[in-house]
Amino acid sequence: MSSNEVNSLGRRSIVRLFGVALAVAAGMDASGEEPVPQGLTTLTNSSPRNDREELLHVLQYNSPDLLHRYPGPKIFLDEVYGPNPQKAEFLKNVASIARHLDIDMPDILIVNPTVDHKGNPEPQKPDASIGWANNVNGKHHNIVFVTKYLKDGLTDEQLLAAVAHEMGHFPQFKKDGSKETQHGGRKLEAAADAFALSCPEVDPNDFKSMLIEVEKLQDEAARKHPFLYKDFIGSAKLIPVSVQTNMAFGGDHPMTRTRIKEADKEIRRRAALNPKAVPAP
């Protein structure tokens, strides 16, 4: 693609990425990344492209920040879950959560890890974020990015809690990525937590267990692959404690124990409304 074509695409489609930290089989394609299963929407440079192909094209060629954070191939979660009747409830709940926000159901993109020259998956952060793509074939896209490492480490119920948190950030930002409010990062994160916990589709017990599991995944990734976090800490030193609680992961979340306390409050509130319910151990 020539520089003129890139610039023309840049004016037509604007991508913004807001990082929120919670916040890999074999074989390579020509770009050195692991291939995705057949039948799914994949990146293509051929024209014409349908809406989803165009979105992947824009994300690949129009956002250097996105590629830096999420370099791997991206797969639409609903295309993976769609054929499985057991996953229908998950997608139904995501659509319902979107209606609470009065937005269209976002595109949830699972970011696969890149692979090395031997076809082995590279280390990947347990990470999730939101982003926007404007004027892609005349359409606006709300996007939730989830790394495969994070998705594979969570149950569907925990993943729904994580996605609900991310979706809670959409009202905080304008479509160009600028903030609707000047509140600091921790207030934005606390508000996103509060939204997720307010959703009847999200079990607060799953939200709580998600927080615990994400912290474990982050600690594991930081200890095994400290170079993954050099962008945030400026060195390759081993990160002590949780990368989430010292905010070296690129987000600005309240400490995990504070977030767990809020989940516990919602667990007690719902139990009071339904005395017959058996509280989770």
The predicted-structure confidence for 191-202, as pLDDT tens digits, reads as follows: 999 999 999 999
Would you kindly state where each structural domain of the chain is located, as residue ranges? 3-273
The predicted-structure confidence for 90-110, as pLDDT tens digits, reads as follows: 999 999 999 999 999 999 999
The average confidence (pLDDT) of the chain is 78
What pLDDT was estimated at residue 230?
64
Compute the average pLDDT of residues 244-260: 59
Top-confidence residue, 217 or 225: 217
Residue located via tokens 């939730």: 144
Structure pTM? Answer: 0.79
What pLDDT was estimated at residue 280?
57
Residue 1 scores a pLDDT above 70 = no
